[in-house]
Amino acid sequence: MFVLGKSGSGMRRKTGNIARTMITSIRNRHDRPAAHTPHHRSEESMVVASYNVHKCVGTDGRFDPERVMEVIREMDPDVIALQEADERFGERSGLLDLPRLRLELGLTHIPVLHKPKSHGWRGNVLLFKEGAVKDVHQVALPGLEPRGAVVAEIDLHRGLGLRVIAAHLGLLRWARRQQADVIVDIMTEREEKPTVLMGDFNEWRLGEGSSLMRFEKVFGPLPPPVPSYPARLPVLALDRIMANRSGLVANVVVHDSPLAREASDHLPITARIDISKAVLG
C-alpha cells in the first residue's frame, strides 16, 4: 500500500510529475476493460502474478477473503506472490484458506519459518502450481517497518528452473533504496540463474530519483510501468514484475476486473514467462 503525502519533501518536489501521471490515468479511465483478457498460454510459457491483498479488506472497507480468492481464480496463475496476506500484529495469522487454494486452484503454499499461524514472511506469501521447491530463504529488509522478501528456487520440468523473489518494500524513500540494495546483493552473491522479482515496491517515481533504478544493475531496463493503485482508479505503478534475463518476462499487464476493483486497494498484475529461457545450470 502507498499512502499519498507520506513521502515528505521528496513528494513535494515531485508533485508535478505525480500530478501529470494522475491526469493521464484519469483521462484514460474510459479505456479500462470491463473484464481482463487472459494471457495466451502454451507449453513453453507460464503465468506469474503479484497481488497486494490489503489483508483482504476491499475498497468498500469490508473484510472478505473469498473475494480475494476469486480474483486469484480469475488470473489462474502458475506462480503468485501475495503481499499483506497475514495479519500485521499479534499472532500474524494467515488470512486465506490455503487448503482451498490447493484443492480448487492447484496452488501450493511455499512454507516459511515464522509465527505458528502465519502463512508468509512479514506478509509475503508465495504459491505455485507445478514443480518442486528445493530451496527457500526469507530475508528481513532494513527500515522502520517490518518488510521482507521470500526467495524460492523452483525446479519446473524438462530441466527448467526458476528463482522467484517476492518482496514488499517500504513507504519511506530512504528505506526503499536500502531494501533494493539488499535484493541486488542477494542476486550478486548467489549463483546466476533465471530470476523473476515481483511484489509491491511502493515506488511511483521513474528515472534517477526512483529506487527502482538500483535494480537495473542485475535486472536490466525495467518493463514499462502499469498503474495498479488505487484499485478503483489506478494512477500509480506500485506493483512490479521483472526478470534478470531478456525475454524471460513478457506482457506485464494489470488484472483489471470488476471484482478486482473491490477486493483490495491494489489491482494485481500478471506477466507471461517464457520458460524456455529458464534452463537449469
Higher per-residue confidence, 116 vs 86:
86
How far is 6 from 150, CA to CA, in rounded Å? 26
**Would you state the pLDDT for residue 116?**
79
How far is 245 from 247, CA to CA, in rounded Å? 6
Which of 12-16, 18-22, 134-138, 264-268 ranks highest by mean pLDDT? 264-268
pLDDT greater than 80 at residue 242: yes
The alpha carbon dihedral of 7, 233, 15, 178 has a sign of positive
pLDDT greater than 70 at residue 19: no
For 195-238, what is each residue's pLDDT tens digit? 999 999 999 988 888 999 999 999 999 889 999 999 999 999 99
Higher per-residue confidence, 280 vs 161:
161
Which single residue is written with the C-alpha cell 483482504?
A: 56
Class of CATH domain 42-277: alpha beta
Higher per-residue confidence, 260 vs 39:
260
For 97-155, what is each residue's pLDDT tens digit? 999 999 999 999 999 987 878 999 999 999 999 999 989 999 999 999 999 999 999 99
**Would you state the pLDDT for residue 64?**
98
Residues 6+ positions from 81 with CB-CB distance below 8 Å: 48, 49, 50, 51, 124, 125, 126, 150, 164, 166, 198, 199
How far is 31 from 25, CA to CA, in rounded Å? 10
Does the model's pTM come out above 0.75?
yes
**Would you state the pLDDT for residue 277?**
76
Sheet holding 195-200, edge to edge: 132-141, 147-155, 161-168, 195-200, 239-243
Cα-based distances in Å from 80 to 14, 213, 272:
32, 24, 12
